[in-house]
Amino acid sequence: MHVLFEPGLFSNATVRTALVLGALVSIVSGVVGIFTVLRGQSFAGHALTDVATAGGAGASLAAVSPLLGFIGGAVIGAGAMDAIGVQRVKNRDVATGVVLGAATGLAALFLYLITLQTTTTGSTQSILFGSVFTVASSTLPDALVLGALVLVGLGMIRRPLLMSSISPELAAARGVRLRLVGIIFMVMLAVAVGLSAIVIGSILSTALLIGPPASALRVSTRLSRAIVLACAFGVGATWLGIVFAYDSYYWFGAGHGLPVSFFVVADVFIEFVLVSFVAARRQRVLTSPAPVTSRQHVEWV
């Protein structure tokens, strides 16, 4: 037993908060992420994480709650990207890149000002790469409420969102207001990114958003099953990451553990590689040529 679970793992309050928060964030990211991958908006999702970085750094500078900063930054970023034309496919790439670049520039400024203002070090790393072990347990209720809001919101726009993700033309013909649905989804995405920023750091939150859903879509073409799988993969990666990070304090001697975010991202990555491998083998066995992740192959629910 001690091979995997070092002493005191489950009696530790910090670890318990981390496990609950990690699971919550993985579930929200998993659900939002499925739609992000289907819509081909991984870059936009990642850009929001960088805008969230600026927000988090700004919040730290102004001494307000980091969760507020992350989410506020991401929501403003979503608005900016919409304003300069992320919705039109033609300029999407460049518009996203420009917002991302400007936001990262601002983050650079804020983080530099923080180093002038305080004597405590490590704020750059804690904002960018995060640590679920340092999140105050008082953040938990806020995170729960926000996560629930995102899930309920997504549930409400589920049908038009799915239709516009798979075939925008069809959705438009059926009277779906594509732009409105797009904006609502971007706001949901922004909140999800802000939530996972407090767990694995702002620029790594892309991992939970894209990795588990991409793995899930490799093995399942049914939306409901893919969502459940994405949540399971996400929670699995996060929990394993937390356990490994806790244990790593014992591997290298006290105080020399590796960051928890590293383990979470590595788990997500390894999960994806393994799942792809299994899916590719299964496909070869069935000799079905269908590429799983293309838009057209997702069945309706």
Partner 1 sequence: MSNAWLSGTIIAFLAGSVGFFVVLRGSAFAAHAIPNGAFAGAAGANLVGVNPLVGLVVFALGAAFGISSLSRRTRSDVATALALVMMLALGAAFLATSNAYEPAVNALLFGEILGVSSSELLPVAILAVVCALGLSFLYRPLLLSSISSDLAVAQGINVQFIDAAFLVVVALSSALAVPVVGALLTFSLMIGPPAAARIVASVPHRALALSVVFSMLTLWAAVASSYWTNLPIGFFVGTISAGVYLSARGWSFVQSRRLLRALL
**Which residues lie near partner 1 (CB under 8 A)?**
37, 40-43, 45-46, 50, 84, 93-94, 96-109, 111-112, 115, 121-125, 128-129, 201, 203-204, 206-207, 210-211, 214, 218, 256, 258-259, 261-262, 264-266, 268-269, 272, 276, 280, 293
Rounded Cα–Cα distance for residues 278 and 237 (Å): 18
Nearer to partner 1, 176 or 271 (CB): 271
Rounded Cα–Cα distance for residues 59 and 169 (Å): 41
Closest approach of partner 1 to the CB of residue 273, in Å: 8
Nearer to partner 1, 102 or 151 (CB): 102
Q: Crossing angle for the helix pair 178-200 and 139-156, nearest 10 degrees?
A: 150
**Those residues with Cβ within 8 angstroms of residue 281's Cβ, 6 or more apart along the chain or in another chain:** none
Nearer to partner 1, 176 or 196 (CB): 196
Closest approach of partner 1 to the CB of residue 111, in Å: 6
Rounded Cα–Cα distance for residues 73 and 191 (Å): 10
Rounded Cα–Cα distance for residues 232 and 30 (Å): 8
Nearer to partner 1, 121 or 287 (CB): 121
Nearer to partner 1, 131 or 164 (CB): 131
Rounded Cα–Cα distance for residues 95 and 53 (Å): 18
Closest approach of partner 1 to the CB of residue 138, in Å: 26
From residue 217, alpha-carbon distances to 155, 190, 240, 294 in Å are 19, 22, 21, 9
Closest approach of partner 1 to the CB of residue 72, in Å: 19
Closest approach of partner 1 to the CB of residue 97, in Å: 4
